[in-house]
Structure 1
Amino acid sequence: MQIPWQSLEPDTLDTLIEHFVLREGTDYGEEEVSLTDKVADVRAQLASGEAIIVYSELHETVNIVLKNEYVPE
């Protein structure tokens, strides 16, 4: 089930995005990207509709995914 990002409290949304960004692991690029920049990028993707927040009733988890990659359960 999709959860509109606008329906979340700002602190909750910030925490969700930070946890999502921190799960991705180590950067292997030539330049490190700060947590602040990563969070801003994900927030922009949510605002543009490129990414969405989804809740899995089956797994009882919340995740952020690209909209074009989302497959409903």
Structure 2
Amino acid sequence: MLIPYQDLDSDTVHNLIEHFILREGTDYGEQEITLAEKTAQVFELLKRGSIVILYSELSESVTLIRKEQLAQQQQQ
């Protein structure tokens, strides 16, 4: 089940974003990006709908997932 980010407390959204960033791994690009900058970037993706908040009733967990990953999972 998808959860609109607007339905969650801002601290909860912030924590979900940080967990998502840390789960995705370290960015080894040419420029080092701070966690705060990356958090702002991911929040923009969330606002645009490129990333969605997914609640799994089966595992009773909440996670952020890229929209294209979700579409791939749903096709399988």
Fold similarity call, TM over 0.5: yes
Q: Aligned AA for 2:7?
A: S
Q: Which residue of structure 2 aligns with residue 10 of structure 1?
A: 10
CA distance in 2, matches of 1:25, 1:68: 18
User: Per-residue displacement from partner, 1:4-48 (whole Å, max 9, x unpaired)?
Assistant: 100001111111111111222222222211101111111101111
4+ residue runs over 4 A deviation:
none
1:19 and 2:19 matched: yes
- Normalised by the size of structure 1, how large is the TM-score? 0.84
Q: Secondary structure at the match of 1:11?
A: helix
Structure 2: gaps spanning 5 or more residues: none
Residue pairs, 1:1-73, within 5 angstroms: 1-70=1-70, 71-72=73-74
- Normalised by the size of structure 2, how large is the TM-score? 0.82
Q: Aligned AA for 2:69?
A: E
Count of residue pairs the alignment pairs up: 72
Q: Secondary structure at the match of 1:33?
A: coil
**Between Structure 1 and Structure 2, which shows a larger proportion of helix residues?**
2
Percent of paired sites with the same residue? 50
Structure 1: gaps spanning 5 or more residues: none
Q: Secondary structure at the match of 2:53?
A: strand
